[in-house]
Structure 1
Amino acid sequence: MSCQRDKADSKTSDHKNDSVSLYVSAVNSKTEYVEKDGRKIAYRKTGQGPAMILCNRFRGIMDDWDPLFIDSLSQYHTVYLFDYSGVGLSTLPNANDSLMEIKDVADLSESLQLNRFILVGWSHGGKVAQTFATHHPAKVSHLILIGTVPLGKNAFPSEKIFFDYALKEVNDLNDEVVLFFEPADSGSVAAAKASRGRIDQRTDKDIYVKPDVFKKYFATNAAFVADEQGRTKLATLPIPILSLSGDHDIVFPIENWYALTRVYPNLQIIMLPRAGHGPQQQYPLLSARYVGDFIKNTN
């Protein structure tokens, strides 16, 4: 499969005629809730087929997934988006209870009676997904990791520019170009605008994440960085792992995965060109095809 920019990825109109029904269902998917231990977990469901749960990035909400990427996944899978407890539309009675993301996945899947599913994680969500897999390996059929790094300590750090933009009170489109795309490439900038246009079509909006909940992420991430045991355990589990990254990820450089080649026997690495921290936002169709082919051809 070619890594050249997919025409349908750069021209949204090319996709509308052949999958408009799926596109509309992703944009208009109903927000529902499961209740567990005094909190509500907000989620949305699209598509049909084997279950797939998507874990989100730092300060990400359900609205932040590109609908075209979700539509494409939903052609062959039942896709579940959700907000972490205390983020977006999900509640958290005790604001100091920071380490909840793993329990969120466990409680959501149990409430929805999903005994085994594909687990997808973007950025921070990639660490959530890896940690969940080490705790509940029998529940995870495939692990799809997008724009993220392995658990534990990694050799290649985030670039300072990430923190300059990611910690602003509000991120606009220009910030998103820097954070998730490749600002040096005109095609990537155009893809950022197209992705934002698709996201903005949703009228039933989630709640934007403000800095008062950042400490929740920082506490969880510190636990992930210290989790050398989880990093080691993943190498022993029979779970197929796909790492999908841009060639210039300012947050979690793809180079961190190279240290695990021949260490993780089930690991495959894909690098998308002229792309940043959100390769599935820039190449939604191509990314979904890579994910779909990986799932179909590994077990």
Structure 2
Amino acid sequence: MSTYETAQDQFIDVKGVRYAYRYFGAATEIPLVFNIHFRGTYDHWDPDFINPIASTRPVILIDNSGVGRSGGEIPKSYAGWAQNIVDVIEALGIKEVDVFGFSMGGFVAQLIALNAPHLVRKLILAGTGPSAGPGVQNGEPEYLALLSNAATEEEHHNGFLKTFYSPSDKKQALAELWWKRMTSARPGRAGYVGPEGTQRQLAAAIRWLGGEFREEGSYDRLDQIKIPVFIANGSNDLLIPTENSWVLWKKMVNAEAHLHIFPDSGHGFLNEYADIFSKQVIAFLDA
């Protein structure tokens, strides 16, 4: 069985765009499709989180258009991001998936579930929130700026450790372990999304969080989700405030929605608690 470290890059042409993806893990059960965070590619997952899940079911990692090894341009709306993922899944001939979204990838995952309900069995939303609406809080711009302005490896390292993990020496030591795992898992990793692509991602974030294009978002449609949903976050998320996870949970009135908050942790809780959270994800998907 392939793991995160050994899975081969694969490519598929869809609507004139060449998408890179990795399809690996166990041969049985419904595939779980992962959607990555701001500026990330499919080379930026934590193997300690991905591999336990892949040992129980197929895992699909996809670089969206303009990201990593995929061609095309980065969409300027998350509806476009979501449609790309749906198109790739359907082009692969897959009839049903579970969907995981982390951070910005959680925005995408919500719209995949809303716009392609025939395709999605269960939904997992980690460190994310709904689009603009009452009760939704935006993170402090300084933290997003640390990530969006990072250009060197050192700037990426410092930005992600500061925004993903609590500032104590103990937590920053755990952050260093995560960084080492993530950056050494595979040779020849793709870099973070570059300056032009980052601006396009920011444009999509502004449409999602600003409220001017509310009809494109998820907030007013969350009651349409009627599948099991698992929402999780750290207790002090600096990038997408933890309160937004609570708003998500409360708005999903027709879903079988579960909410779990990890103590003394932030946006990177899924890496800090990789062992526990991966087991929770497996239990949720198997239930």
Check whether TM > 0.5: yes
State the Cα distance separating 1:85 from its structure 2 match: 0.3
Return structure 1 stretches of 4+ with deviation > 6 angstroms.
none
Structure 2 regions of 5+ residues with no counterpart? none
Counterpart code for 1:36 = V
User: In the alignment, which of 40, 48, 66 is matched to residue 60 of structure 1?
Assistant: 40
Per the alignment, residue 203 of structure 2 pairs with: 219
Contact 1:123 1:148 in 2 (8 A): yes
Q: Hey, what's the Cα distance between the residues in 2 that align with 1:289 and 1:118?
A: 16
Q: Is residue 32 from structure 1 mapped to residue 10 from structure 2 by the alignment?
A: yes
1:109-144 Cα deviation digits (max 9, x unpaired) = 012211111100011110000011111112111110
Q: Distance in 2 between the 1:114 and 1:98 partners?
A: 26
Give, as a single letter, the amino acid of the residue that structure 2 aligns with 1:152. A
Structure 1 unaligned regions, length at least 5: 1-20
Distance apart, 1:238 and its partner CA: 1.4
8 Å Cα contact 1:41/1:104 also seen in 2: no
Partner of residue 132, structure 2: 152
Within 5 A, what are the aligned runs for 1:89-100? 89-92=69-72, 95=73, 98-99=76-77, 100=80
**Distance (whole Å) between structure 2 residues aligned to residue 260 and residue 249 of structure 1:** 15
TM-score by length of 2: 0.88
Percent of aligned pairs with the same residue? Answer: 26
Distance 2:126 2:205 in 1: 16
Q: How does 1:131-170 map to 2 (within 5 A)?
A: 131-153=111-133, 154-167=135-148, 168-170=150-152
Alpha-carbon distance change, 260 to 119 in structure 1, aligned in 2, over 3 angstroms: closer
Match of 2:179 in 1: 196
Instruction: Measure the CA separation in 2 of the matches of 1:258 and 1:97.
Output: 28
Q: 1:262 offset after TM fit, Å? A: 4.6
Q: How does 1:1-299 map to 2 (within 5 A)?
A: 25-48=3-26, 49=28, 50-92=30-72, 95=73, 98-99=76-77, 100-153=80-133, 154-167=135-148, 168-170=150-152, 171-183=155-167, 185-199=168-182, 200-225=184-209, 226-227=213-214, 230-265=218-253, 266-297=256-287
The alpha carbon displacement at 1:96 in A equals: 7.6
TM-score (normalised: structure 1): 0.84
